Amino acid sequence: MPVHLLGHHLYEYSKGVRPMFMMTLSTRDADTVTRKLAERFVDYHVQTVTEAKVNVFFGNAACIATVRSVVRKPLNQLTPEEDFILGTLLGYDREQQCRRFLAMAQAGRREAAS
């Protein structure tokens, strides 16, 4: 059950391993997770994926404020820049994020030229 991962994520957050996390959960599990985050005064943002699923972003207040500003559409529709910002906030490998950004930007240029 994904809710069990929350304890591990909160431990890593408290130790400064990563400033932000994202969990994709059922709406039922999301209610449990957001309640626990609120009890611990951890900032979070919920993004609807489908009627039955949501993404819960949580962690550093500045990171969550940035997510609220940047993530305003489904994740698979993010621009290369928005995707790069989100991946970086989530602590993904910087070099891989740079390669992903360049690939997405190049693909976008080819689509725009067609």
For the chain, domain boundaries: 3-113
Note whether 61 and 19 are within 8 A (CB): no
Check residue 1 and give its pLDDT. 54
Most distant CA pair in the chain, distance: 51
Check residue 109 and give its pLDDT. Answer: 60
CATH 2.40.240.10 assigned to domain 3-113? The reply is no
Q: Bridge partners of 109? A: none
Nearest Cα neighbor of 55 from 85, 41, 80, 76 is: 76
Confidence class for position 111, pLDDT limits 50, 70, 90: low
pLDDT at 3: 74
Q: Where does the pLDDT of residue 4 fall: very low under 50, low under 70, confident under 90, or very high at 90 and above?
A: confident
Res 112 pLDDT > 90: no
- pLDDT > 90 fraction of the chain, expressed in percent and rounded: 89
pLDDT in tens, 88-106: 999 999 999 999 999 999 9
Give the C-alpha separation, 78 to 56, whole Å.
Answer: 17
The mean pLDDT of 71-84, rounded to a whole number, is: 94
Per-residue pLDDT tens over the stretch 20-61? 999 999 999 999 999 999 999 999 999 999 999 999 999 999
